[in-house]
Amino acid sequence: MLPKKRVVITGLGVISPLGNDISSCWDNLLKGKSGIDYIDRFDVTALSAKISAQVRDFVPTDYLGRKDARRMDRFVQFACAAARQAAEDSKLEINQDNADRVGVWIGTGIGGLETFEKQHKILLKKGPNGVGPFLIPMMICNMASGQVSIMLGARGPNSCTVTACAAGTNSIGDAFRIIQNDEADVMITGGAEASITPLGVGGFCAMRALSTNNDDPQGASRPFDAQRDGFVMGEGAGIVILEEMGHALERGAKIYAELAGYGTMGDGYHIVQPDPEGNGAAKAFTRAFKDAGITPEQVDYINAHGTSTSINDAVETKAIKKALGDHANQVAVSSTKSMTGHMLGAAGGLECIAAALCCQYNMIPPTINYQNPDPVCDLDYVPNQAREKTVNVAVSDSLGFGGHNAVLVLKKNMNR
């Protein structure tokens, strides 16, 4: 049996509530800046949650032609922008000779919800003949991958993983497998989401999943804190360029980190609640460690799912303890969602980027708003201030509605 091909991260791109480029986003993560504020894109009078982590100052035509941008939902615009950034960061050139060996795999949790809402209003007003011809190609979940491949000319494996809040992490893991299996040399992958809409926020409000701490927007997302009361919706895109290591070294590409392992398991428990014992998540950690060829004791940092919901944070803590044993108490664990809000299907993309940058710079972003310890959440959550720490192995995990658990293991680039 041939050894697995090694995979590295050579490009990063982000559109986020903390900035629309890697430098701004990373700087704000380390500063512990919150990207959460009052929703100003639509009337929130009737909603119990009036806050979100919106992407601001985003101009689609900075990345796309005006005509193309008009024919894309906001989540696709985000994906294209972040993908273009990542490709430029990687200095990736796609041409006739290599296009079939460059693929795209971008996940989303919900897809083109804004387009759906707008076209539904037209349906009610004008009837079915008034619905626009771009409704379907703008709202379907796979169109982020499709449009990125068209924009960049990538003709390799092209797909999309839709696993709710785990979609970004699953997509990166699935793209990782494509390269390991020698089906591509390069994969453009991550997640994108744009569901801060009346229907999106209204739906999560109806589930009582969102924080209603409307008087303190920047303090509302408080993962692992005893007074957490729900997550705050975010949006954006996080895209990475994955590359077979030999291919990257041959062309002299910059390497941020090695993507060394991927594990995914299902809870088989409930449509929105995680397994209360954290068994599925713990097994996903364990599988990822095995795939990466590491022991739990080698893990230096975990970028946690950390949504700021009561059940999720407690279950995730339990899963980390099960997977890491006694070493769980020695690992730095932080939730960047305390600053970005929950970017749903885009979360895993941005959080993989954060983990890669931790390996690159030996700095760990904090969990902000951590003020009241919870007895059931008793790990080292890097409270309120960034921490300097050698990070040789970083882990990023995601848990999605439907019982989807996904874990990535990254290693410091030793080829620098």
Question: Hey, which residues does 244 pair with through a beta bridge?
Answer: 7
Residue 12, phi then psi, degrees to nearest 5: -135, 140
Pick from 61, 83, 73, 100: nearest CA to 152: 83
Lookup result for tokens 């068994």:
279
Helix (H) or strand (E) holding 134: none
The two three-digit tokens of residue 38, written as one number: 């009052």
How many other CB atoms sit within 10 Å of the CB of residue 381? 25
Q: Give the integer Cα–Cα distance in Å for 84 and 253.
A: 16
Residue 408, phi then psi, degrees to nearest 5: -115, 140
Sign of CA dihedral 80, 84, 90, 91: positive
- Please report which residue ranges of 158-235 form alpha helices under DSSP H: 167-180, 198-206
How does DSSP classify residue 333? E
Q: Give the integer Cα–Cα distance in Å for 362 and 343.
A: 24
Provide the annotated active-site residues: 165, 305, 342
Beta strands in 273-324, from DSSP E residues, in sequence order: 301-303
How many other CB atoms sit within 10 Å of the CB of residue 128? 7
How many other CB atoms sit within 10 Å of the CB of residue 97? 8
Pick from 88, 205, 83: nearest CA to 147: 83
Helix (H) or strand (E) holding 67: helix 66-70
Pick from 313, 144, 134: nearest CA to 221: 313
Collect all residues with Cβ–Cβ distance below 8 Å to 75 and sequence separation of at least 6: 108, 110, 111, 112, 113, 114, 144, 192, 193, 194, 195, 235, 237, 346
